[in-house]
Structure 1
Amino acid sequence: MMTSTLDVIKVIEAYAPLDLAEEWDHPGLAFGSYEAEIKRVFLALDLRPEIVEEAIKTQADLLLLHHPPLFNAIHEMTDATPEGKMQLDLIRNNISVYSAHTNLDRCLDGTAAALTLSLDLDVDEVGYQVLQPLEGRPDYGYGLYANLKEPQSFLEFAELIAQRLEIPACQRFTSTNRQVRRISLFPGSFDESCIERLEEIKSDVLITGEIKHHVALMLEARGVNVLAVGHDVSERDVMLLLAAHLHTVFPDLRIEVDAGIDYN
């Protein structure tokens, strides 16, 4: 039986429902055909020239992104810009493009869950809880937090995080070493509206993708050490989770995931 773009979309949106997305967000099918036959799917965080080249090279039928390729309204699509050229190249090669963004961030097995798997930290029996739950839907929301089974020194913990994520180092905002136990994960760009929540749960450490300098200093002043690991590093493994889910539903599809940038 043929698998269509719409068949794949239905599975993605059952995994990461669209109603979890922020109002300003634009997940979904950016361009392409709902009825096209899908044999090969390529997953990546962002629409970049090398991703387009790889999608064309591997003869992908569907490019599945985390970050939407079209955020603002466009009034022309030409090869005069890198963005326009990428879009035209995909269209010429009959590659549909779909994104799952903040809905994937907020779902049960989303970006924060993927980060916990990459970090593989030894947390207590309570496990991870939602950091910033949605009102009326407490099981969904941004981020996760948990307690380490044993306290660790902050600087040693920072080295461990870098090792687990296979990056040279984490960006930190203090040289002060102290024991830390309660950790919070907020993949991607940290939202400063979460500062109060971190204070409320008495988080010792925040692991995030990127953060404004002054916001990091605000957290440090409130006793929350900050580790920034890179936006892409903090989110890239969610595409592996999503790919694994798609493979269980569509075992006959050829599914590949971009490995991301090597920082070593």
Structure 2
Amino acid sequence: MKAYEIMNHLEKYFPLNLQMDFDCCGLQIGSREKEVKKVYIALNADNETLQACIENNCQMLITHHPFLLEKIKNLDTSLHQGKFISTAMKHDIVVYSLHTCLDRGQNGISMNDWLIQKLGVHDVTCYDHYEVGKKAILNEAINGKDFIEKVKDIFHIEHLKYSKNTNKMIHTIAICGGSAADDLEILADQVDCYITGDTKYRHAKYAIDHDCLLIDPGHHLEVIIEEKLPELLETLPLEIAVHHSKDYFEYQ
């Protein structure tokens, strides 16, 4: 099928008009008319995933994070951006990304819906006017320390950081994959626990001062798209390969 048919299918769930002002979603490189038999799904659009796409005989790389989000200053092929573009064009690879369109989603299908549903909840709602972050009620209340272990287990995380106010019962939670630590200021009085990445020292203090457990599993939590996005493509006449991305960070 044509690349544009795959794009149109995904945009039924994640219309491009949902993207945030700073973002650059949609087609990154390649022709909409390209014939695609096999797609490669990855969290990131980088030289590692592009090479894996080629090695797996795929004609299209679909990612969460857009390649074009980083400003391009030149096309020096000895540097990562020029290398990525020249390699994609040489091998005629279509690169397509959804980022904040997928973050927001609609009708209960979005990255943050996928994340929060994994934790066993009900009454899921958006907590912000952008309709990105989600909050919900746990199906079963749980002690803070035990909830931290549950998050680690469900999302297969060995290391995470959290505020030290763990001695409390968790009934209500909120989550926003990626980087949304400042949302804590609107959530601290609404939920017992907030989960997001890229938090700073001041966020932990704020969480403690307002008695809201803050859990930071890292930005890589968004890798859930590699599990869930293929499910939305299963009805199409395509082969699907998945990257199984690793965190850019290593932890000791």
Structures share a fold, TM > 0.5?
Answer: yes
Q: 1:176 to 1:254 in 2, by over 3 A?
A: closer
Aligned to 1:243: 230
TM-score (norm 1): 0.86
Distance 2:70 2:158 in 1: 35
Contact 1:78 1:88 in 2 (8 A): no
For 1:53, give the aligned amino acid: Q
Alignment partner of 1:218 out of 184, 206, 209 = 206
Q: CA deviation at 1:39?
A: 0.7
Residue aligned with 1:184, SS: strand
1:205 aligns with 2:193: yes
Aligned to 1:6: 4
| TM-superposition CA deviations, 1:95-130 (whole Å, max 9, x none) | 01011011110113111122134x342x3xx43111
Aligned to 1:130: 126
For 1:131, give the aligned amino acid: Y
Residue aligned with 1:181, SS: strand
Q: CA deviation at 1:41?
A: 0.6
Q: 1:150 to 1:245 in 2, by over 3 A?
A: closer
Distance 1:213 1:101 in 2: 27
| TM-superposition CA deviations, 1:14-56 (whole Å, max 9, x none) | 1101111111110011110011101111111112332122111
For 1:237, give the aligned amino acid: I
Contact 2:14 2:101 in 1 (8 A): yes
Alignment partner of 1:189 out of 168, 172, 179 = 179
Aligned to 1:138: none
Aligned to 1:25: 23
Aligned residues: 247
Q: CA deviation at 1:72?
A: 4.4
Distance 2:57 2:92 in 1: 9
Q: CA deviation at 1:191?
A: 4.7
TM-score (norm 2): 0.90
For 1:112, give the aligned amino acid: N
Alignment partner of 1:229 out of 208, 213, 217 = 217
Q: 1:92 to 1:227 in 2, by over 3 A?
A: same
Contact 1:159 1:170 in 2 (8 A): no
Aligned to 1:171: 161
For 1:219, give the aligned amino acid: A
Residue aligned with 1:237, SS: helix
1:261 aligns with 2:246: yes
Which segment is superposed worse, 145-154 or 38-47? Answer: 145-154
Aligned to 2:145: 155
Distance 2:176 2:112 in 1: 7
Contact 1:29 1:98 in 2 (8 A): yes
Aligned to 1:137: none
Q: Among all aligned residue pairs of Structure 1 and Structure 2, give the percentage whose two residues are the same amino acid.
A: 27
For 2:85, give the aligned amino acid: Q
Contact 2:72 2:81 in 1 (8 A): no
| TM-superposition CA deviations, 1:130-159 (whole Å, max 9, x none) | 12243xxxxxx1121111233211111101
For 2:60, give the aligned amino acid: L
Aligned to 1:68: 66
Distance 1:74 1:16 in 2: 26
Residue aligned with 1:243, SS: helix
Aligned-residue Cα RMSD (Å) equals 2.0
Distance 1:191 1:178 in 2: 21
Q: 1:16 to 1:239 in 2, by over 3 A?
A: farther
Which segment is superposed worse, 45-54 or 99-108? Answer: 45-54
> Which residues of 2 match residues 81-96 of structure 1 at below 5 A?
81-96=79-94
Alignment partner of 1:40 out of 38, 41, 65 = 38
